[in-house]
Amino acid sequence: MSILFNLLAFIVAVGILVTFNEFGHYWVARKMGVKVLRFSVGFGKPLWTYIAGKDRTEYVIAAIPLGGYVKMLDEREGEVQAGELERAFNRQQVGKRIAIVAAGPIFNFIFAILAYWFMFMIGVNGIKPIIGEVTPRSIAAEAAMAPGDHILSVNGEPTPTWETTTISLLNQALETGTVTLEVQRQDEAQLRKLWLDLSDTRHLLDEGDLLEKLGISPWRPTIEPVIGKLVEGGAAQRADLQVGDRIISADGEAMSVWTDWVNFIRARPNQSITVLLDREGNPITLELRTEARQEDGLTLGRIGAYPHIDRDEIAAMRVLISYGPIESLFKSVEKTWEIGVLTLRVMWRLITGEASLKNISGPVTIAEFAGVSATIGLSAFLGALAIFSISIGILNLLPVPILDGGHLLYYVIELIKGSPVSETTEAVGQRLGLAMLAGLMALAFYNDFLRLID
């Protein structure tokens, strides 16, 4: 079900983004007087076709949801009647052609702004950036960071959540190499300033979690071995365990946290266990026989019990960031710019070899990200769509033949030399662009495959 949900979320996300991108080309082409023959979301065999308008434009949803295209009247792709020559794309002034081609990526950035706008108005849930653990001899440890530190700002930029903190750390690392943190330490009224050395960008931009490389673990609630809920008719209920019972030990092995208890039970399917527990201050010993279940080809123990969660403690760590319509619009533009600049910086580091190529993700990873964000809620899904849209916009603007950026490069050359590039140059460029795109997709799929088997 998870795979199907991720796939559905991926198809919805790609469908929305492709439609918006291609609508940019379509809308500007129509405004420029160019005849549009087909507007297709997806490639391959048409699943649905609708013909409308005086130009009898075909609106198509195709079988392969990995892109789309707008087909315009063009003498290079077929014979054009004399009465429609002025509406052919290739007959337009170079400025109009630039506007039509650039419209797709521009609409991607517009979509990101709109998505962030709605996201900020709905409200963004996050967790306060409070440190849980610091790895010894790590970058964070050398900066004298400590468990319980609440990160308030990075180089003066407020960081209300872990997401904003991570983005700020990465942005500042790529720009300055060293960042100044303002932290609130536990049981201290005075704020502290700490200096974090992020100059080793090659290490920080390698595959994996940035915070982990810094030696930081975000705060997580300590879940004690206390029964919070029982499954009706489960092994725990049959053994007379009750809500509120604290597990002291099992077969003489001490239980300090809930994960100790879970790991102990999972390792003992269909076994009898002697449990010592504390019930309202009284020690009680019970005999418990575990059940068994199959999971990923393994037989694991279970008893049908869930831990007690301190909801108030978790609620105190949550942050909801929301703004009014006007402020949300300014924040959305600012966020789009921030993510766009960060994406370009990371891409440059990929080109120069300072960032790992393992960071390049393919459809499988994107589908998983889309599915997780959709599960969290509308606000998270909008944020994911905005990031995807910015990435697509930037990717399309790269000066690679076959992409929008490659066509724009040809048109800039045409402006400079006063005539279009030759058909031979375009043909060679197309082959080169296809090879580069195929190589990039192969790398992305390879990275996805490695993540799946890891």
Averaged pLDDT, groups of 10, the chain, 454 residues long: 72 84 92 91 87 90 84 85 87 91 94 94 88 89 90 89 85 76 84 85 70 86 88 91 92 91 92 92 92 85 89 81 92 92 81 64 58 72 88 88 87 86 79 76 63 58
CA–CA separation, 344 vs 346, rounded Å? 5
Give the pLDDT score at 1.
52
CA–CA separation, 76 vs 81, rounded Å? 13
Give the pLDDT score at 169.
84
> How large a percentage of the chain has pLDDT more than 70?
89
Give the pLDDT score at 271.
93
Q: How many CA atoms lie within 13 A of 404 on its CB side?
A: 25
CA–CA separation, 23 vs 26, rounded Å? 5
Sign of CA dihedral 153, 157, 159, 160: positive
| Cα 26 to chain centroid, rounded | 28
22 carries an active-site annotation: yes
CA–CA separation, 202 vs 350, rounded Å? 10
Give the pLDDT score at 443.
64
CA–CA separation, 338 vs 334, rounded Å? 6
SS3 328: helix
- Which amino acid, 446? Y
Q: Do the Cβ atoms of 198 and 369 come closer than 8 Å?
A: no
Give the pLDDT score at 454.
57
Give the pLDDT score at 242.
92
SS3 149: coil
Hey, what domains does the chain have and what are their CATH numbers?
124-220+310-321 (2.30.42.10), 227-309 (2.30.42.10)
Q: Please pick, among 22, 334, 338, 426, the residue that the annotation labels catalytic.
A: 22
**Among candidate residues 326, 323, 337, the one with its CA nearest the CA of residue 386:** 337
- Tokens 């108005």 belong to 121
- Output the pTM of the full model: 0.77
Residue 11 burial by Cβ neighbours in a 10 Å radius (0-12, 13-18, 19+) = middle
Give the pLDDT score at 354.
65
